[in-house]
Amino acid sequence: MTHRILILGGTTEARQLTGTLVRREELSVTLSLAGRTESPVAQSVPVRVGGFGGADGLAAYLREEHVDLLIDATHPYAARISANAAEAARQTDVPILALRRPGWEPVTGDRWTLVDNVTEAARALGTAPRRVFLAIGRQEAGAFQAAPQHHYLIRSVDPVEPKLAVPDALYLLARGPFPEADERALLEEYGIDAVVSKNSGGQATYGKIAAARALGIDVVMIRRPPLPDVPSAETVDALAAKVDHLFDPVAERGV
């Protein structure tokens, strides 16, 4: 029996999970991407790009495609997509699992200021001009136009369009992972004295946090949004094990 799985992706872990599950002959995997990245990494399974039209649209897709399992492996800050996924699963009685990597925790030497959103982050930089490394992606960079006194170094996978209406901003296009040594060199080269980051978790983008700690640089850390309470795992292997258990032939027979 073939089981149809829809993975809501866009993260490194989603790609890794897809590669793990596609090797199982009894699984048919489709990966869904929101389409926010202009040049996504090539995938090993059929890919659907674009939104579904909210929870109702996703629920309709789950029914039409006879999906047996929905996996939410989106970014920790994709709160709306996660909420829609949970609601669509509820409407259709399709099982849902979430892949949620743990967030970073401050350690000795970190100089974090915790805020709830980008508006608070811009305010937390203060009124005096600073040299700021903005490492939150392109979607919400515009919020920092409210603090035009700072000098910004902005890194994203795709170009920030339109560019910020501030006097001084430099733009870097790059895709992680970003090793700590490279991040430290970057911070030193541009004289950065504040980093703005989301608490994405994982190792791929932790380098800037470790580098900031080593250099004694302030970090404005945007907290994660609340996410739906659904069955979840923190690692690809743990999530794959849950999938195996769900579709275990022995379990299906009730033995």
**Rounded mean pLDDT for each run of 10 residues along the chain, 255 residues in total:** 93 91 92 70 78 96 98 95 98 98 96 98 98 95 97 95 96 94 98 97 95 98 96 96 84 42
131-135: strand order across its sheet:
112-115, 218-222, 194-198, 131-135, 151-156, 169-173
CA distance 116 to 224: 8
Q: How many residues does the chain have?
A: 255
- Of 243, 136, 251, 133, nearest to 189 by C-alpha is 133
pLDDT at 41: 55
Produce one character per residue of 27-41: b if its CB has 16 or more CB atoms within 10 Å, e if not. bbbbbbbbeebeebe
Domain boundaries, the chain: 3-101+226-253, 112-222
Looking at domain 112-222, which CATH architecture does it have? 3-Layer(aba) Sandwich (3.40)
pLDDT at 73: 96
- Four-way CATH pick for 3-101+226-253: 3.10.580.10, 3.20.20.140, 3.40.50.720, 2.60.40.10: 3.40.50.720
pLDDT at 255: 40
pLDDT at 10: 84
Fold equal for 3-101+226-253 and 112-222: yes
pLDDT at 250: 46
